[in-house]
A = this chain, B = another copy of it.
Amino acid sequence: MKNKNFNQLRSKSIRKIEKSAIAEILRVINQPGMISLAGGLPAPETFPTKIIEKLASLVIKKYDSLALQYGPTEGLPPLRLALVSFLKEKGIETSFENIGIVSGSQQLLDLVGRVFIDPGDYIAVEAPTYIGAVDAFSPYQPRFLEINTDEDGIIPSDLEKKIKQKKVKFLYLVSTFQNPTGRTMSEKRRKEVAEVIKKFNLLTIEDDPYGSLRYRGKSPLPLQVFAPKQTVYLSTFSKILSPGLRIGFYVASKDVFSLINIAKQTTDLHTNSFSQLIAAEYLTSGDFKSHLPKIIEVYKKRQTAMLDALEKYFPKNFSWTKPEGGMFIWVEGPKNFDSEKIYWQAVEEKVAYVPGQYFFVKKGQGKNTFRLNFTNVSEEKITEAIKRLAKVIKKNI
């Protein structure tokens, strides 16, 4: 039979993701003069450019063709070995065999979707949750169950209630400095959530891209520590080395690890060998230890500038999170405030952010909230942006 056009041939899967409302919203962020607090990019000035140049050369000399040849799907041994120690310092006791390398943590989200989701299956996410994860799971056509959250993360009783009602394939959450709220699950809460996870043997994806970006306070142990059998721990080099290298990593129990690996094989064979070895040397050379404080120094000042400006310029009936690290602050206005409604006015004043409703899977929620990013804008611009935004808000309430 003759095809009229190739768009007609689209799969159900691609139809699920082809419309992106948030892309429309974000189209304006590159306008001249715009100060965008909408993105989630690391600051390029924090990239260890010189270190990467040095390590690239070292990797070629040290590993020669291993850096350039096809490699094993699960990742190259030097990186997986280096991650054993890296993870141990975070409290995760695991072995080489359980650590896999992926092409950015986004890929693991896609692979988990592929391995576990059949159309119509339930998966549980935080309300609000990370949009990139929703995008990664959506092509597999799941139904999302939102779990209620408070200042300490997902609420164990709500999780238990909802997984009793529906057969949930897995739970996805960002445990530390969550995107979009900046919130961190307290260690007490992690233990409580782990109890539910273990009671129901619930597969859980703990996404932790921001954990190393801590500006004050003490890191709670990963959720993985309290439910190691059920939890796939996921992290990335994007925030501590370079996102352009696309190196993510995960820890999983043997059966889950093997399924992820089968799925990865058919999608991209394996992750970039050269960059894997650069990441390995970054950890083992001591460069990571010496460079991380420099990243933190930059971001900490920017976060302080944002928190100070919010305090100074924002109306008293607005509140916001005060995370001890990460990249985001979550602002909540009074009930009748609508962050989307004032978005285009803000854009006219040359300031952009992400309206909170985009982070909820069920529409109609979070209308009075929005997300601010502070990592990729200078302190001066942050202060100016918050001032502009406060002006727009005050005109509308």
Contacts and interface: CB of A to CB of B under 8 A. Distances in A.
Interface in A195-212: 199-203
Which of A14, A116, A273 has the most CB atoms of chain B within a 10 A radius of its CB?
A14
A115 interface: yes
A-B residue pairs, 10 tightest by C-beta: A244-B273, A44-B65, A68-B242, A56-B56, A53-B60, A68-B244, A110-B267, A3-B201, A47-B68, A135-B266
A115 B11 contact: yes
Nearest to A41: B70
B139 A266 contact: yes
17 contacts: A1-B164, A1-B167, A7-B259, A9-B169, A11-B118, A12-B118, A13-B115, A18-B262, A49-B68, A56-B57, A56-B60, A68-B244, A103-B246, A103-B268, A135-B266, A244-B273, A246-B270
A71 interface: yes
A394 interface: no
Given A104-B268, A269-B104, A275-B274, A1 B200 contact: yes
B41 A64 contact: no
B272 A203 contact: no
A5 interface: yes
A67 interface: yes
Which of A5, A11, A41 has the most CB atoms of chain B within a 10 A radius of its CB?
A11
Contacts of A246: 103, 268-273
A256 B6 contact: yes
Which of A117, A243, A268 has the most CB atoms of chain B within a 10 A radius of its CB?
A268
Contacts of A65: 44-45, 47, 49
Which of A5, A107, A170, A266 has the most CB atoms of chain B within a 10 A radius of its CB?
A266
Contacts of A150: none
A10 B115 contact: yes
Nearest to A48: B68
B47 A138 contact: no
Contacts of A256: 6
Nearest to A243: B70
Contacts of A60: 49, 52-53, 56
Given A1-B167, A44-B65, A52-B274, 5 more contacts: A2-B200, A3-B202, A7-B255, A136-B267, A139-B266
A203 B266 contact: no
Nearest to A376: B69
Interface in A171-219: 199-203
A238 B13 CA distance: 29
Nearest to A168: B1
